Amino acid sequence: MTTKISPRKKFMPFRLLAVIGIALAIVIVGAVINSKSPTASSSNLPNEIPFTRSRVRHPSQQLNLSSYKGKPVVLNFYASWCPPCVAELPMIASKASQVGSKIQFIGVDVHDTRANATKLLAASGVNYPSAFDPNGQIETQYALVGTPTTFFINAKGQIIGKHVGEMTSASLDKWIKRLQNPKAS
């Protein structure tokens, strides 16, 4: 006499594997999201990584990050094809105008054309210097996970934080205060 296995018991191992697979996927997705946290502490960030590149608006002129040592820097990576970048640039340009010469704002246009980058800067009201990085070499040096990404560099040339993704005005204000008054943070 043969014992007939019910269809329910027959598929039990497959259900168990499916549940394990879903749980594993949730853990992996959570780890990826946490690794791309919008802010990072200064404990895991290097000193600034110097670069020299041509400027977006003036290709014959070079932009050298090291020449701004001694002054706090807001270093923003963006591209004209990036909707969050396009959305945040006018706000960043406005903050740069408000802060004046106390903090140096610098842009880095990545994986873009010079014509599109120039149009974006004009439309956004950006007056601060911006480097042109069409092949993403600076982006690679800074280990970006996406654009926009903004680094905050103190007057000693140390990266004290970064923000991944579109930045709010309140968040930028917080970083500006920290750059202006490093002892308070």
The CATH number of the domain holding residue 43 is: 3.40.30.10
Query: Tokens for 18?
Result: 């499916």
pTM for this entry: 0.75
Query: Tokens for 163?
Result: 């923000």
| Cα–Cα distance, 42 to 57 (Å, whole number) | 32
Gyration radius (Cα) of the chain, Å = 23
Assess if residue 129 is contained within a domain.
Answer: yes
Write out the H or E segment, with its range, that includes residue 58.
none
DSSP string, 101-124: GGSEEEEEEESS-HHHHHHHHHHH
For residue 20, what pLDDT is reported? 52
Residues in the chain, total? 185
Which parts of the chain register pLDDT below 70?
1-46, 184-185
Assess if residue 48 is contained within a domain.
Answer: yes
For residue 50, what pLDDT is reported? 85
Assess if residue 24 is contained within a domain.
Answer: no
For residue 48, what pLDDT is reported? 73
Assess if residue 34 is contained within a domain.
Answer: no
Task: Look at the block and give the residue holding tokens 């873009």.
Answer: 112
| Cα–Cα distance, 132 to 79 (Å, whole number) | 10
| Cα–Cα distance, 130 to 53 (Å, whole number) | 9
CA–centroid distance for 25 within its chain: 26
For residue 19, what pLDDT is reported? 47
Assess if residue 101 is contained within a domain.
Answer: yes
Domain that holds residue 50: 39-184
> Which residues face 152 on adjacent strands?
74, 161
Cα dist from 176 to 16, 82, 153, whole Å = 52, 24, 10
Write out the H or E segment, with its range, that includes residue 86.
helix 83-99
For residue 38, what pLDDT is reported? 38
Assess if residue 89 is contained within a domain.
Answer: yes
For residue 44, what pLDDT is reported? 54
For residue 100, what pLDDT is reported? 84
| Cα–Cα distance, 7 to 119 (Å, whole number) | 65
Assess if residue 6 is contained within a domain.
Answer: no
Interval 130-157: pLDDT, tens = 999 999 999 999 999 999 999 999 999 9
Number of domains in the chain: 1
Residue 130 and residue 58 in contact, taking contact as beta carbons nearer than 8 Å: no
